[in-house]
Amino acid sequence: MLKPYWLAIAFVAGLIARRFGLPALVGFLATGFILRSMGVEHTPQVQRLADLGVLLMLFMIGLKLHVRSLLQPVIWASSTLHMITTVTIFTVIIKALGHTGIPLISDLDWNTACLVAFALSFSSTVFAVVVYEQKAESAAFHAVVGIGILIMQDIFAVLFMTISKGLIPSPFALTILLLIPGRKWLCLLLEKTGRGELQILIGLLFPAAGYVWFEAVNLKGDLGALIMGIVLASSPAAKSLAKTLMSFKDLYLVTFFLSIGLHGDPNKITFLVAIIFIALLPIKMILFEFFLMKFKLRARTSTFTSFSLSNYSEFGLIIAALAVNYQWLNADWLLVLAVTLSLSYVIGAPLAMNSAKIYRKINSKLVKFETEERLPEEQALDLKGAETLIFGMGRVGHAAYDVLRDKLGNKLHGLDVDINVVENHDDLGRCTGLGDPTDKEFWQRIDLSRIKLIIFTLPCHEITMRAIELLKATEYKGQIAVVIRFKEDAASLNNAGVNFVYNISDEAGSSFAKYLCKQLKI
SS (HEC) of 311-341: CCCHHHHHHHHHHHHCCCCCCHHHHHHHHHH
Distance CA 434, CA 450 (A): 19
SS (HEC) of 434-465: ECCCCCHHHHHHCCCCCCCEEEECCCCHHHHH
Distance CA 158, CA 138 (A): 24
Strand-pairing partners, residue 500, are 481
Distance CA 409, CA 1 (A): 59
| Structure confidence at residue 295 (pLDDT) | 92
Q: Considering Cα of 505, then 23, then 62, then 216, what sign does the dihedral take? A: negative
Task: Answer for the pair 478, 459: CB distance below 8 angstroms, yes or no.
Answer: no
Distance CA 517, CA 377 (A): 46
Query: Measured in Å, how far apart are the chain's first and last C-alpha atoms?
Result: 59
Distance CA 272, CA 281 (A): 15
Distance CA 512, CA 498 (A): 26
Q: Considering Cα of 502, then 463, then 381, then 418, what sign does the dihedral take? A: negative
Q: What is the pLDDT along the chain (522 residues), one digit of tens a residue?
A: 567 888 888 889 888 887 876 667 778 878 888 888 888 877 777 778 888 887 887 888 788 777 777 788 899 999 999 999 999 999 999 999 998 889 889 989 999 999 999 999 999 887 888 888 777 777 788 888 998 898 888 778 777 876 766 667 788 888 988 998 998 999 899 888 888 888 889 888 999 999 999 888 888 787 888 889 888 988 888 888 888 887 788 778 788 778 777 766 778 898 999 999 999 999 999 999 999 999 989 898 999 999 999 999 877 877 887 787 778 888 788 788 888 988 898 888 888 888 888 988 888 888 888 888 888 777 767 777 788 999 998 888 888 898 888 888 888 999 998 877 888 888 888 888 888 888 877 887 788 888 899 999 988 888 899 889 888 888 788 999 998 888 888 889 989 888 988 888 776 677 777 777 777 776
Nearest by Cα to 465 from 438, 434, 485, 439: 438
| Structure confidence at residue 67 (pLDDT) | 72
Domains along the sequence of the chain with CATH: 4-369 (1.20.1530.20), 380-520 (3.40.50.720)
Task: Please give the C-alpha separations between residue 43 and each of 1, 8, 120, 508, in angstroms, as whole numbers.
Answer: 9, 19, 25, 49
| Structure confidence at residue 167 (pLDDT) | 64
Distance CA 241, CA 227 (A): 16
| Structure confidence at residue 118 (pLDDT) | 94
Tell me the pTM: 0.75
